[in-house]
Amino acid sequence: MHSKLVSFFQNRSTAEIARDLLGRVLTYDSPNGLVGGLIVETEAYLGPTDRAAHSYGGHRSPANEGLYCVGGSLYIYSRRQYYFLDISTQEKDNPEGILIRAIQPTIGQEIMLANRIKGGFELTNGPGKFMQAFGVVDKSADLLLLTDSPFTVNLDHKKTPNTIAASPRIGINASDATWANAPLRFYVSGNPFVSRLRKRDYDLANFGWR
């Protein structure tokens, strides 16, 4: 039934899955219509030993239960008025996951523009930004299996990045430098929808796709 989904989100390292998500289409069936785009930036969070993870030290509560669900489940959380989208990886009770950080809009762009003040690359170049553009205003999809939720990720096709870049994750305060510096953020090199990308690194000809 959900075997394809679940096998995609386990049986290999979370970092590898995070890289494999780049170039795939993420959609959200919002009340105002279908919205979505190509995933261009992800971050891997590696569970209890990872100082930067919400499941560090085995921390578990109703708020982060999504990380403990079977791979392919949604973990949606809020920070300062914005919502963020994670997809859990690995088997149940192994709290690893991937934060979707940015997308290149391809579906329902008018709807997304109406949901956000800002347009252009600012429309979806951050984890809270694209969720606002999608029109996600609550955590009702938290804990749901991706295939049972208003979200979809197309696992059958993907656009191929020319180059996948890796860097330390954004916004990590971990006192442990090993985890703070670990190259667990992945992005389509040159794509202007990647968060915090310098303008001189924009690939405006191909947006980083092959």
Partner DNA sequence: ACGCAGATCCACT
Partner DNA sequence: GTGGATCTGCGTG
Q: Does 104 bind DNA (CB under 7 A)?
A: no
Q: Does 64 bind DNA (CB under 7 A)?
A: yes
Q: Does 1 bind DNA (CB under 7 A)?
A: no
Among 63, 144, 164, 180, binds DNA (CB under 7 A): 63
Among 198, 204, 205, 210, binds DNA (CB under 7 A): 198
Q: Hey, what amino acid is at 98?
A: I
CA contacts within 13 A on the Cβ side of 40: 28
Q: Does 82 bind DNA (CB under 7 A)?
A: yes
Among 127, 135, 161, 208, binds DNA (CB under 7 A): 127
Q: CB neighbours (10 Å) of residue 202?
A: 16
Checking 2-8 for CB contacts under 8 A at 24+ apart, the result is 2/72, 2/145, 2/147, 4/155, 5/72, 5/145, 5/146, 5/147, 5/155, 6/70, 6/71, 6/72, 8/71, 8/72, 8/155
Q: Are 206 and 200 in contact (CB under 8 A)?
A: no
Q: Does 99 bind DNA (CB under 7 A)?
A: yes
Nearest distance, CB of residue 29 and DNA, angstroms: 21
Report CA dihedral (80, 85, 89, 94) to the nearest 10 degrees. Answer: 30
Q: Are 142 and 160 in contact (CB under 8 A)?
A: no
Residues of span 131-160 touching DNA by CB under 7 A = 132, 139
Nearest distance, CB of residue 80 and DNA, angstroms: 3
Residues of span 34-53 touching DNA by CB under 7 A = 43, 45, 52-53
**Helices and strands (H, E) in the chain, number of each type:** 5, 8
Residue with tokens 């494999």: 20
Nearest distance, CB of residue 30 and DNA, angstroms: 18
Q: Which CB atom, from 110 or from 122, has the smaller least distance to DNA? A: 122
Q: Which stretch binds DNA (CB under 7 A): 9-17, 20-28, 32-40, 197-205?
A: 197-205
Q: Which CB atom, from 37 or from 97, has the smaller least distance to DNA? A: 97
Residues that bind DNA (CB under 7 A): 43, 45, 52-55, 59, 61-64, 67, 75, 78-82, 84, 86, 97-99, 116-118, 122, 126-129, 132, 139, 169-173, 195, 198-200
